Amino acid sequence: MNTFETVINKYNSLRFNSIAVSLEMLVSQAEDNETSYLQFADMLVSHELSKRDENRVNLNMKRAGFPVKKQIEEFDFVSQTTITKKQINRLLDFSYIDNRENIVFIGPPGVGKTHLAIGISYKSVYAGYKVLFTTALELIEMLDLAEAKGELKKKINTISKFDTLVIDELGYLPMNKQSMFNFFQLINALYEYRSIIITTNKDFTNWGDFFFDDNVAVPIVDRIIHHSHIFMMGGESYRLKQKINLNYSTYRI
């Protein structure tokens, strides 16, 4: 005789875990709605697929390592006039990932570069893509440690499993010679194979400032800008503006 427990165990043995968890509820809904056998079968598999998609998105969000949650809808395109909502929306079909193209946001601190990089990447995770977010400093430390252990190639292969690598704040700190070599190895490995999103406070002509060597900067820039979407951003710092407005509101109160 079948009981809920025995049937649930069978579903668990097949790794239909979401059906197993929700079986009693699904059966109750089917009975209340007088669902046909075919409709019930579809209800079961749709529930399992939906939960698996949800779990996959949650796992990929966790693996992405976003420092904060940023949505494109929250971005202030009215204040930030150097980039338009239409330009960003064009990227949200994620053809840049499918075509192995890069995105580069260039501008001074506080103008929304990181917000856009995270916002676009956030939506790509929901669309089924895998993203890894890291600051340039964290990335260089990661590569340098892997190189010291003789595991640089292994680390680069691990990073290459993500559809998009987001490198935040590139150019804020200079690199030593070994770090430059390690970084070039990564960029070369990802070139025309994976997408990269970069935020930086320096335009490409000044990349020699933190690479210390144009012979290294030029081939890195060449690989990044080939097949890329480049956005030059300017304007007031959002963070500074918000702080000023907050202090002004506090003062008025």
Question: What does pLDDT average to in each consecutive run of 10 residues of the chain (253 residues)?
Answer: 83 87 89 90 90 92 95 90 94 97 93 96 96 96 96 97 96 84 94 96 78 77 91 72 44 43
> Residue 221: its pLDDT value, please?
87
Using an 8 Å Cβ cutoff, are 29 and 57 in contact?
no
CA 203/CA 182 separation, integer angstroms: 21
Q: Please, what are the domains in the chain? A: 4-63 (no CATH), 72-240 (3.40.50.300)
pLDDT at 249: 40
DSSP string, 164-207: EEEEEEETSS---HHHHHHHHHHHHHHTTTSEEEEEESS-GGGT
pLDDT of res. 241: 52
Give the sheet arrangement for strand 131-135, strand by strand: 131-135, 164-170, 195-200, 102-106, 228-232
Output helix, strand, coil percentages for the chain, rounded to the nearest 5: 60, 10, 30
Q: Write down the residue that tokens 């009975």 correspond to.
A: 31
Residue 67 has what DSSP assignment?
S
The reported pLDDT for the residue numbered 240 is 47
Cβ neighbours around 187 below 10 Å, total: 21
5 token code pair: 């427990």
CB atoms within 10 A of CB 190: 21
Shortest CA distance to 209 belongs to which of 169, 174, 167?
A: 174
